[in-house]
């Protein structure tokens, strides 16, 4: 059951309906025309890429009849929502295959995740042969091109249908009285689900089961569940490309690299909370320094706000209504406090703390503070999905006229920042969701501003209808690593709602009070996620300026050790990170150890080097050594680190 997507509701049943499409075109169609038919009328062959649709910001099945005026957009596998829909349909296909082979299996839920999907089952321990049987059943279903057919049931009908499955009955009990319950039929299999789904199993030709494991439910008294993990693609060719990339990515797994390089670790006593080790903190501090240089140049002020706020603050911001389930809560002296999942409420309170003038705008407030989000245990993954994180966050308070130039400046900085890491980037404009704060016309104005800036900047972007935050449309920043994998990092949001809710005002040049607009922005995103992505992007070979240790000096014999130590002192005096190793092991083994640890610069000092005041330098990735005088070597390394060169 996908609990994240709201059911579709129609407020009228007109003889004809007026449909607005993403390019601004409109069409009048007969009431009851399906979303698929409307999209075909609009885009012909192009509509074939749609696996679902967005109707007034809500994801719907292509078979859904349109009975009121509204905005319609296609959802494809390239859209985040479209990708999630296909993953969720893939999970249903797995459940169908398992129940066909083990009829007593009781499916619980099967959500999409960042890395594919999973489905948990109340069933006996699974075996590899069980998975083989599931795969065979899935193949039969795909060849049969079975449809995903939605049905609406009363609560009592649903309870009767799932009478032998206590997990589904629990979900049904959460449905408000009077609301219908939706199920989907796929062949002979029926599952409780809000949807939407792909039209037929033909869309699931690239589904792949990754593995299975036993998991312990949150209720310790409940029996262990069996989790099947997988990933879905529309075609077999896309799956084959993914499997090839995955094999390459396994050698770059940031969790393995993080342990080898002693950057971070995790413990069972704090699931989802990364522990940064000394080497990792060096990387984090260098990233902070990189960002802070921009902050100073761009006129930001740095702040620090509390880690917890009272419930009333989140009620004002809207997080209590829209985000409470993803927050850590605690009781203090009879009051409920929430560990902040975002920094914006604190920045709002700072702006409100005294009278403000238009002369103070733009007011740019940056904050590096730990944030906490109650991510589901099944979605946690190394550094890329955690429960505690720090991001390069800022909130910029502007007049309406200042918003566009401020966002243009941000896009320029994004380009320079990601060029430093040799990361390709693009943008995704996420528009008004089904549930939102404020008036539609204000959202239209904010969305138009963001799209105008994107067009003028010339950056690559696409539009994702209905994917904005509950309080503001946003530009999400997507990067591609060296393996071609997409990652979402930073975001730029143009917010008219939260300043109103907090009662923010400034005195304008006309002497009147006005409400500011707020630009919420992160660039690199969270340190945790960015470090995880970067480690895999460079296969652990961090750029020299980020490397925890930049130079290793290796004396050939014990008599050369003083020269090595002296060189290390010179390097450290110039702000470089260096060490020297002893001579207990062979020279070749010491050099090899330095290479394995991804050392950017290895210098060997023997009789010749000591006599000449030189070093034998081996740059990471090269098998050859070259001789440099000590001053030349110091200048070479210092310059490359200072310029933040990507390569050693």
Contact 394, 513 (CB under 8 A): no
Residue 284 has pLDDT above 60, yes or no: yes
Is 4 domain-assigned? no
pLDDT for position 303: 97
pLDDT for position 13: 59
Residue 6 has pLDDT above 70, yes or no: no
Same domain, 401 and 520: yes
Catalytic residue, chosen from 61, 120, 392, 393, is 393
Residue 162 has pLDDT above 90, yes or no: yes
Same domain, 62 and 164: no
Is 546 domain-assigned? no
Same domain, 224 and 336: no
Catalytic residue, chosen from 87, 226, 391, 497, is 391
Q: pLDDT tens digit string along 424-482?
A: 999 999 998 888 888 899 999 999 999 999 999 999 898 888 888 888 999 999 999 98
Residue 171 has pLDDT above 80, yes or no: yes
CATH code for the domain in which residue 167 is found = 3.30.980.10
pLDDT for position 648: 81
pLDDT for position 218: 65
pLDDT for position 483: 87
Q: What is the mean pLDDT of residues 167-183?
A: 92
Give the tokens for residue 389: 């994180």
Portion of the chain with pLDDT greater than 90, in percent: 84
Is 471 domain-assigned? yes
Q: What is the mean pLDDT of residues 105-122?
A: 93
Cα–Cα distance between 301 and 296 in angstroms, integer? 8
Contact 524, 291 (CB under 8 A): yes
> Known catalytic residue: 391?
yes
DSSP state of 357: B
Q: What is the mean pLDDT of residues 2-27?
A: 69
> Known catalytic residue: 537?
no
> Known catalytic residue: 520?
yes
Is 448 domain-assigned? yes
Is 75 domain-assigned? no
Same domain, 450 and 586: no
pLDDT for position 307: 96
Same domain, 114 and 217: yes
Its sign, for the CA torsion 460, 466, 469, 471, is positive
Q: pLDDT tens digit string along 297-332?
A: 999 999 999 999 999 999 999 899 888 999 999 999
pLDDT for position 5: 35
Picking from 247, 272, 304, the residue at the C-terminal end of a domain is: 247
Residue 411 has pLDDT above 70, yes or no: yes
Contact 291, 523 (CB under 8 A): yes
pLDDT for position 467: 85
**Structural domain range at position 61:** 16-42+54-69
* Dihedral in degrees, nearest 10, Cα atoms 363, 368, 373, 379: 120
Instruction: With cut-offs at 50, 70 and 90, classify the pLDDT of residue 216.
Output: confident
Residue 1 has pLDDT above 90, yes or no: no
pLDDT for position 215: 87
Residue 221 has pLDDT above 80, yes or no: no
CATH code for the domain in which residue 606 is found = 3.40.50.800
Contact 198, 52 (CB under 8 A): yes
Same domain, 225 and 306: no
DSSP state of 213: E
Catalytic residue, chosen from 80, 150, 395, 478, is 395
Same domain, 317 and 378: yes
Picking from 177, 212, 247, the residue at the C-terminal end of a domain is: 247
CATH code for the domain in which residue 466 is found = 3.30.930.10
Catalytic residue, chosen from 340, 344, 392, 497, is 344
Give the tokens for residue 467: 């994917």
pLDDT for position 4: 35
Residue 11 has pLDDT above 70, yes or no: no
Is 1 domain-assigned? no
Q: pLDDT tens digit string along 529-572?
A: 999 999 999 999 999 999 999 999 999 999 999 999 999 999 99
pLDDT for position 265: 97
Same domain, 307 and 439: yes
> Known catalytic residue: 373?
yes
Is 252 domain-assigned? no
pLDDT for position 402: 97
Catalytic residue, chosen from 80, 373, 514, 552, is 373
Same domain, 115 and 239: yes
> Known catalytic residue: 393?
yes
Cα–Cα distance between 399 and 317 in angstroms, integer? 20
Q: Is the peptide bond before 233 cis (omega within 30 degrees of 0)?
A: no
Query: What number of CA atoms fall less than 13 Å from residue 6's CA on the CB side?
Result: 15
> Known catalytic residue: 326?
no
pLDDT for position 611: 95
Q: How many domains does the chain have?
A: 4
Same domain, 164 and 111: yes
Neighbours of 102 (CB within 10 A): 17
Q: What is the mean pLDDT of the chain?
A: 93
Catalytic residue, chosen from 80, 340, 474, 521, is 474
Q: Is the peptide bond before 489 cis (omega within 30 degrees of 0)?
A: no
pTM for the model: 0.79
Same domain, 412 and 473: yes
Instruction: With cut-offs at 50, 70 and 90, classify the pLDDT of residue 220.
Output: low
Using DSSP bridges, classify how beta strands 301-302 and 363-367 pair: parallel, antiparallel or unpaired: parallel
Picking from 503, 537, 571, the residue at the C-terminal end of a domain is: 537
> Known catalytic residue: 474?
yes
Cα–Cα distance between 215 and 307 in angstroms, integer? 32
pLDDT for position 573: 96
Same domain, 22 and 96: no
Portion of the chain with pLDDT greater than 70, in percent: 97
DSSP states along 544-597: TTT-S--EEEEESSGGGHHHHHHHHHHHHHTT--EEE--SSS-HHHHHHHHHHT
Is 199 domain-assigned? yes
Cα–Cα distance between 34 and 50 in angstroms, integer? 13
Catalytic residue, chosen from 520, 537, 552, 630, is 520
Instruction: With cut-offs at 50, 70 and 90, classify the pLDDT of residue 7.
Output: very low
């Amino acid at each position: 059951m996908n609990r994240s997507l709201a059911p579709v509701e129609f407020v009228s049943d007109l003889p004809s309906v007026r449909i607005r499409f993403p390019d601004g075109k409109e069409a009048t169609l007969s009431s009851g025309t399906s979303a698929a038919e409307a999209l075909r009328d609009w885009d012909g062959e192009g509509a074939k890429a749609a696996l679902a649709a967005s109707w007034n910001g809500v994801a719907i099945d292509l078979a859904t009849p349109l009975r009121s005026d509204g905005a319609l957009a296609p959802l494809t596998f390239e859209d985040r929502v479209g990708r999630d829909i296909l993953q969720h349909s893939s999970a249903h296909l797995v459940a169908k295959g398992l129940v066909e082979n083990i009829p007593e299996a009781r499916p619980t839920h099967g959500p999409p995740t960042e890395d594919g999907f999973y489905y948990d089952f109340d069933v006996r321990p699974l075996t590899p042969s069980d998975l083989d049987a599931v795969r065979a059943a899935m193949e039969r279903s795909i060849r049969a091109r079975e449809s995903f057919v939605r049905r609406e049931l009363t609560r009592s009908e649903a309870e009767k249908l799932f009478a032998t499955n206590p997990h589904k009955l629990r979900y049904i009990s959460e449905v408000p009285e009077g609301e219908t319950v939706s199920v989907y039929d796929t062949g002979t299999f029926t599952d409780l689900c809000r949807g939407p789904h792909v039209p037929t199993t033909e869309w699931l030709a690239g589904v792949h089961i990754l593995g299975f494991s036993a998991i312990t439910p949150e209720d310790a008294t409940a029996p262990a569940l069996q989790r099947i993990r997988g990933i879905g693609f529309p075609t077999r060719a896309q799956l084959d490309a993914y499997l090839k990339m995955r094999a390459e990515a396994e050698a770059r797994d940031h969790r393995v690299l993080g342990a080898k390089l002693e950057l971070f670790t995790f413990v069972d006593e704090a699931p989802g909370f990364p522990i940064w080790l000394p080497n990792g903190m060096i990387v984090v501090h260098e990233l902070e320094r990189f960002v802070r240089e921009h902050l100073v140049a761009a006129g930001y002020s740095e702040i620090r706000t509390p880690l917890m706020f009272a419930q009333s603050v989140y009620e004002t911001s809207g997080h209590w209504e829209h985000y409470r389930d993803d927050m850590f809560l605690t009781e203090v002296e009879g009051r409920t406090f929430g560990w902040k999942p975002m920094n914006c409420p604190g920045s709002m309170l700072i702006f409100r703390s005294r009278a403000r003038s238009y002369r103070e705008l733009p007011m740019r407030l940056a904050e590096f503070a730990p944030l906490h989000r109650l991510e589901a245990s099944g979605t946690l993954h190394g550094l890329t999905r955690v429960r505690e994180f720090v991001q390069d966050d800022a909130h910029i308070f502007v007049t309406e006229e200042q918003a566009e130039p401020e966002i243009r400046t941000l896009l320029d900085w994004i380009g320079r920042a990601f060029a430093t890491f040799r990361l390709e980037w693009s943008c995704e404009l996420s528009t008004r969701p089904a549930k939102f704060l404020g008036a539609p016309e204000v959202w239209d104005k904010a969305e138009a501003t963001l799209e105008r800036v994107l067009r003028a900047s010339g950056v690559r972007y696409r539009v994702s209808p209905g994917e904005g935050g509950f309080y503001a449309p946003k530009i999400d920043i997507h990067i591609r690593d060296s393996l071609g994998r997409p990652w979402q990092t930073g975001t730029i949001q143009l917010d008219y709602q939260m300043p109103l809710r907090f009662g923010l005002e400034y005195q304008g040049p006309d002497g009147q009070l006005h409400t500011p607009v707020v630009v919420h922005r992160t660039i690199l995103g969270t340190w945790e996620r960015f470090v995880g992505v970067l480690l895999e992007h460079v296969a652990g070979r961090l750029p020299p300026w980020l490397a925890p240790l930049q130079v290793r000096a290796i004396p050939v014999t014990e008599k050369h050790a003083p020269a090595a130590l002296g060189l290390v002192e010179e390097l450290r005096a110039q702000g470089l990170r260096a060490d020297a190793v002893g001579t207990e092991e062979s020279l070749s083994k010491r050099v090899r150890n330095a290479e394995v640890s991804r050392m950017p610069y290895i210098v060997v000092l023997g009789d010749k080097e000591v006599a000449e005041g030189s070093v034998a330098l081996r740059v990471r990735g090269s098998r050859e050594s070259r001789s440099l005088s000590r001053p030349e070597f110091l200048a070479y390394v210092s310059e490359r680190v200072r310029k933040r060169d990507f390569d050693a």
